[in-house]
Each structure stands twice: as C-alpha cells, then as structure tokens.
C-alpha cells in the first residue's frame, strides 16, 4: 500500500502548553513534529490541529503554533478525535483516505483517534517519532496496539520521502533541506 500526497491529510493531536513539559523526550518530539509539518506543507497536504480541553491544558505550544497560524484548531473534550462531531465534519469535507497522525498522548488521544479512524473507514498513518506520552512504556504499548489494529507505523523521514516519490522536484529539495 503506497501512501500518496494526493490521498492524505494530516492531524496534529493536542500538543499543548500545560501537558507538553511532562512529555517524555519533549524537545526531540517538538523538533520532529516541526520537520514533519514543514514537509507536509511543502507537499501541500491539508493539516488539522486539535486541542484537548484548552481551558485546562492550554493552547498549542508556542514552538509549534508558529508554523500553524493559518490553521484553525478544533477544540474537543473527547479523547478520540473521531468522537468530536466538528472534527468528523472537517475530515469528511477534506475527503482523504490516509490520515497522517502526530501528537500526544500516544496511549490516550492518539490511540483512541486511530481506532476511531479505522472504525470510520480511514487508514491512519502514525508517525512514531512524532508521538509521545508522559512515560515511554505507555507510548510503546500504544504503538503495538495501533499496529495490531491496522495502523501504518512509520517515521517522519520515511513518510516524507514516500509522499514526495521523486528526487529533483522542488518539493524534494525543500524536504531535503529539512531532513539534513
């Protein structure tokens, strides 16, 4: 199964100020997610951003929000994004098969979103080096469960090259600068 740029949308789940400092390897996560977002933008893949209960968990982290200023956040109080009606309306409007996923926490909101997407007929593509939890073992357990449920598990570098497909294009040159 080839993941294509034309058939994909991306979802940044709940990378918020009040939870982010507690996340395992959060600085590396932020670096990786920023590279992924820049690459997805270069490939013109539509992005969605969610915030879990922003009154308590805050806004999207500053180091990430800068690259997402043109994207409206979907606020939710559900753990899984698919349980939020406005998210599902937006996803149906975008009309893409593959949903590229990054965010926190892997074992709660990411996992429940993945299972909801599969149930709704979408193919989740989980970018493993762009998800995390407060504890490493929670992330590891979630990745295993998502794999068993049928999600594609990948890394940002592998995914960006797969979506790009060809060397020598302007998109490839932009991605190459990000990854080096």
Domain spans, the chain: 8-179
CATH number of 8-179: 3.40.50.850
Known catalytic residues are: 14, 76, 109
pLDDT, tens only, 60-88: 999 886 778 788 899 999 999 999 999 99
pTM for this entry: 0.96
Q: Which residues make beta-bridge pairs with 66?
A: none
Residue (of 38, 79, 39) closest to 57 by Cα position: 79
> What CA–CA distance (Å, rounded) separates 156 from 123?
17
Q: Which residues contact 95 (CB under 8 A, 6 or more apart)?
A: none
First-to-last C-alpha distance (Å) of the chain = 27
pLDDT tens readout for residues 20-38:
999 999 999 999 999 999 9
């Amino acid at each position: 199964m080839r993941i294509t740029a034309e058939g994909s949308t991306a979802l940044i789940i709940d990378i918020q100020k009040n939870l982010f400092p507690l996340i395992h390897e959060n600085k590396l996560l932020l670096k990786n997610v920023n590279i992924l977002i820049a690459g997805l933008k270069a490939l013109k893949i539509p992005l969605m951003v969610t915030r879990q209960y922003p009154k308590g968990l805050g806004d999207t982290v500053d180091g990430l929000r800068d690259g997402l200023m043109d994207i409206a956040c979907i606020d939710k109080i559900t753990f899984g994004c698919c349980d939020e009606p406005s998210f599902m309306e937006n996803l149906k409007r975008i009309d893409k098969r593959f949903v590229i996923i990054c965010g926190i926490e892997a074992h709660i909101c990411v996992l429940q979103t993945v299972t909801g997407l599969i149930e709704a007929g979408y193919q989740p593509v989980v970018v493993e080096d762009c998800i995390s939890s407060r504890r490493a073992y929670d992330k590891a357990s979630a990745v295993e469960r998502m794999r068993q449920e049928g999600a594609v598990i990948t890394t940002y570098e592998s995914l960006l090259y797969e979506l790009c497909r060809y060397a020598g294009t302007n998109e490839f040159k932009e991605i190459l600068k990000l990854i080096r």
